[in-house]
Amino acid sequence: MVWFVVIGEGRPARAVLDVIIAAPNATAEALVIADAERNPLAECAGRQALAMVDTRDLLGECRRLAGRSEGWLVSANSTIIIPREVLELFEGRSLNLHPGLLPEYAGLHTHQWAIRNGEREFGVTVHRVEPQIDAGAIVGQVRFPISPEDTGLSLFSRCLTAGRELFSRIIAQITRGEALTDVPQDLARRRLYRHRDALDGRIDWNESAVRITDFIRAGNYEPFASPSYVARLDRMGGFDVEVLRATREGVSTACPGAVVDVSAAGPLITCGDGATIRIVKARHGREAMSTERWHEYISHVPGGQLLGRSETQA
């Protein structure tokens, strides 16, 4: 029987737990989570009689288990840096399920960045854990196309499905006693995405219509809260408009950010490449933006010219 310690949060950690629990000759010994007393994963751990360990007690728990037969540490959606002392206890038997293609998409919110960057393909990676973030050798990776309709949430969900399948295969290899194949990463191609770099939701109207619509859909996590940003318009007249979906529609000679039309479908706005987009889904607070609300909002926009990110940063 191979035992595992799982460290992580949310749906990815739950998916990893489910795979281990369902696998023959595998057992989950502990779930390491933040705020163990109030974490939603605590209920799952309780049903499986798992030890629930706060992330602050990770080293102590791993030392307690280290005297047993060889076990594995698995990380999924964890934001903590696993201490070197913990990694040494597992002697190379530490894996991370990463929702992104490595080495190009290391770090956080990489699925959103992939949409923002115009990628047509994405995927998930299982790799060895090293002190450097998402830099260990790759033991498994799957790829799939990004749909033009994918949002931040839908692409994250697809990563979760693909990651569960990939991790199931790797767990099966481990429990059968098979050696995992390590493929070192080409770290010259590595790009690390940080949480603080993905918090600004202001639209840059000097960008092309394609990049703006991709920026909008990447931040769309409805009906849930985005882990990073939601695309926003300038705050005017007490309005804080979150933009959830936009479509490319026509061209204009107006300046970037100019509102050239407001219809029942939403406002039409000029982008940096002369193309226009129509905002077809947006909200103020919990209320959808109606035609009347749009007209009221636009009445507060000086000259019908939205500023967006680049101008407000100047």
Q: Which residues are catalytic?
A: 98
Nearest Cα neighbor of 164 from 42, 45, 13 is 13
H helix intervals, 76-140: 84-90, 110-116
Residue 196 sits at φ, ψ, to 5 deg, of: -65, -20
CA distance 126 to 166: 8
State both tokens at 128.
């060895």
- 20 Rama class: left (phi>0) / alpha (psi -120 to 50) / beta: alpha
H helix intervals, the chain: 10-22, 41-47, 58-65, 84-90, 110-116, 152-175, 209-218, 291-299, 308-313
CA distance 255 to 246: 19
Residue 54: C-alpha distances to residues 19, 31, 41 (Å): 22, 9, 12
Q: Are residues 8 and 17 in contact, defined by beta-carbon separation less than 8 angstroms?
A: no
In the DSSP assignment, the letter for residue 201 is -
In the DSSP assignment, the letter for residue 305 is B
CA distance 53 to 191: 32
| Cβ-based neighbour number of residue 205 at 10 Å | 24
Q: Are residues 129 and 82 in contact, defined by beta-carbon separation less than 8 angstroms?
A: yes
In the DSSP assignment, the letter for residue 303 is G
